Amino acid sequence: MSDNTNRVTIDVLGERPYAVVIGRDLARDVASFLAPGTRQVAVIHQPSTSAAALDVAAALGGAQFIVTLIPVPDGEGAKTASIAERCWSVLGQAAFTRSDAIVGVGGGATTDLAGFVAATWLRGVQVVHVPTTLLAMVDAAVGGKTGINTAEGKNLVGSFHEPTGVLCDLDHLQTLPPADLAAGLAEVVKVGFTSDPSILELIHENPRAALDPSSCVLSELVERAISVKATVVAADLRESASDGIGREVLNYGHTFAHAIEQVENYTWRHGDAVAVGIVFEAHLANVCGLLADDVVDTHYEILRSIELPTVYHGADVDRLIEVMKVDKKSRGDVLRFVVIEGIGKPTVLAGPTREQLVAAYAALGRDAS
Ligand code: GLY
């Protein structure tokens, strides 16, 4: 819903409803998400978002909160047990209580860590997310997934801990490197294919505007992607739906994407891997007779129009299959993929044969028709 301040608020319903506010110049709004009685706030941020964190800290300080800044490394370097321990130690020294709060300012890795620290400190304190990348706005910061990595893999330790509010300040996107903005759009395109075809139309008609952080097209794309995510997580927070696809729908493209990320030692941007992942999973559905050629072609057309990768042949297919088998989304050693049977028609494909996987991998990079 849009109000007279040019902000859009999307409510995430569920056990503990919260608002996602999308707009510009929002630093002062953080305080409005804190419960009455909050005294101290720890702002967890990465070095590259120090300016945004200082704005948030100044606004909170002006509203009489006691603020502690906790800098953490950029990117996945923040999501370790030792960084979480460092945060717990700062909270302990500042005598943080159950009624105090954490604010995560940064990309998805920072908000994942901030959420995890909030989930675990005193068995759970309030957290507000201020995502500064497109990927974090449309995916990581909304929906309550928190976690850190271990030597064995990504997000292996974590919990569901919903924020009390999320502030998507589109001004942060002005300084985001263009390749990171495009990578964030991969998650938006994913939602277009699974759930909201008007996203694909918007990008098809305005690919340049989709890549322009000051455009109304990009803000509409953000709003649409978050609306879908809000509806999905409100219905199935813990990805445990017994009826229908539930939260698993958000994994379109992700089984193959995670395999690329792992074999490439996490040197790929997550969004770039997701772009290739949805193309692979479209080919897989096509090979299995579930998806028409022209919809596979639409994947290439949309992703290429916004400069996202659509091909990967950097590893042997059997190596990728092995990696996918240990992905969190697999059950036993049965591979599971979210695929689509048409635009807006997601479903789960369990146990494709090796031949089908090999054929989809061979087709990757090649328009179907
Ligand atoms: N990023 C997928 C999810 O939130 O479930």
Contact 23, 9 (CB under 8 A): no
Residue the block writes with tokens 């909160």: 65
pTM, two decimals, is: 0.95
At residue 153, the pLDDT reads 80
Q: Is the pLDDT confidence value at 5 over 80? A: no
CA of residue 190 to ligand 1 center, whole Å:
12
| pLDDT band, very low/low/confident/very high, at 91 (cuts 50, 70, 90) | very high
CA nearest ligand 1 atom 3, residue:
250
Q: Please, what CATH class does the domain formed by 197-205+236-363 belong to?
A: mainly alpha
Instruction: Looking at the CA of residue 251, tell me the nearest atom of ligand 1.
Output: 2
Contacts with 236 (C-beta within 8 Å, 6 or more apart), sequence order: 246, 247
Name the residue of 111, 133, 134, 139 to mutate for ligand 1: max ligand atoms within 8 A of Cβ: 139
At residue 345, the pLDDT reads 98
Contact 234, 10 (CB under 8 A): no
The more confident residue out of 329 and 254 is: 254
Assigned fold of 8-175? Rossmann fold (3.40.50)
| Mean pLDDT, residues 285-296 taken together | 98
Q: Is the pLDDT confidence value at 11 over 70? A: yes
CA of residue 51 to ligand 1 center, whole Å:
28
**CA pair distance 204, 222, nearest whole angstrom:** 16
| pLDDT band, very low/low/confident/very high, at 326 (cuts 50, 70, 90) | confident
Q: Is the pLDDT confidence value at 332 over 80? A: no
At residue 328, the pLDDT reads 61
Q: Is the pLDDT confidence value at 1 over 70? A: no
Give percent of the chain above pLDDT 90.
90
Q: Sign of dihedral through CA atoms 249, 162, 49, 62? A: positive
**CA pair distance 247, 236, nearest whole angstrom:** 6
Name the residue of 133, 191, 251 to mutate for ligand 1: max ligand atoms within 8 A of Cβ: 251
Contact 19, 9 (CB under 8 A): yes
Q: Where in the chain is the domain with CATH 3.40.50.1970?
A: 8-175
Instruction: Looking at the CA of residue 239, tell me the nearest atom of ligand 1.
Output: 5
3-state helix, strand, coil in the chain (%, to 5): 50, 20, 30
Q: Kindly list the protein residues whose Cβ atom lies closer than 6 A to any atom of ligand 1.
A: 139, 143, 145, 247, 250
At residue 3, the pLDDT reads 54
Q: Sign of dihedral through CA atoms 5, 104, 108, 175? A: positive
Q: Give the residues across from 159 on adjacent strands.
A: 146
Instruction: Looking at the CA of residue 232, tell me the nearest atom of ligand 1.
Output: 5
Q: What is the DSSP string of 159-213?
A: EE---SEEEEEGGGGGGS-HHHHHHHHHHHHHHHHHT-HHHHHHHHH-HHHHT-T
Name the residue of 188, 236, 248, 250 to mutate for ligand 1: max ligand atoms within 8 A of Cβ: 250
CA nearest ligand 1 atom 2, residue:
250
- Residue 301 has φ and ψ, to the nearest 5°, of -60, -50
| Mean pLDDT, residues 202-208 taken together | 97
What are the tens digits of pLDDT across the range 99-130? Answer: 999 999 999 999 999 999 999 999 999 999 99
Name the residue of 20, 111, 133, 145 to mutate for ligand 1: max ligand atoms within 8 A of Cβ: 145
CA of residue 145 to ligand 1 center, whole Å:
7
CA of residue 322 to ligand 1 center, whole Å:
23
**CA pair distance 286, 292, nearest whole angstrom:** 6
Q: Is the pLDDT confidence value at 246 over 60? A: yes
Q: Where in the chain is the domain with CATH 1.20.1090.10?
A: 197-205+236-363
Query: Burial level of 72, CB count in 10 A (0-12/13-18/19+)?
Result: buried
Residue the block writes with tokens 């030692």: 265
Q: In what order do the strands lie in the sheet with 101-106?
A: 8-12, 18-23, 165-169, 126-131, 101-106, 40-45, 66-71
| pLDDT band, very low/low/confident/very high, at 140 (cuts 50, 70, 90) | very high
On average, the pLDDT of the chain sits at: 95
CA of residue 146 to ligand 1 center, whole Å:
10
At residue 228, the pLDDT reads 98
Q: What is the dihedral of CA 174, 176, 178, 182, to 10 degrees?
A: -100
Q: Is the pLDDT confidence value at 356 over 70? A: yes
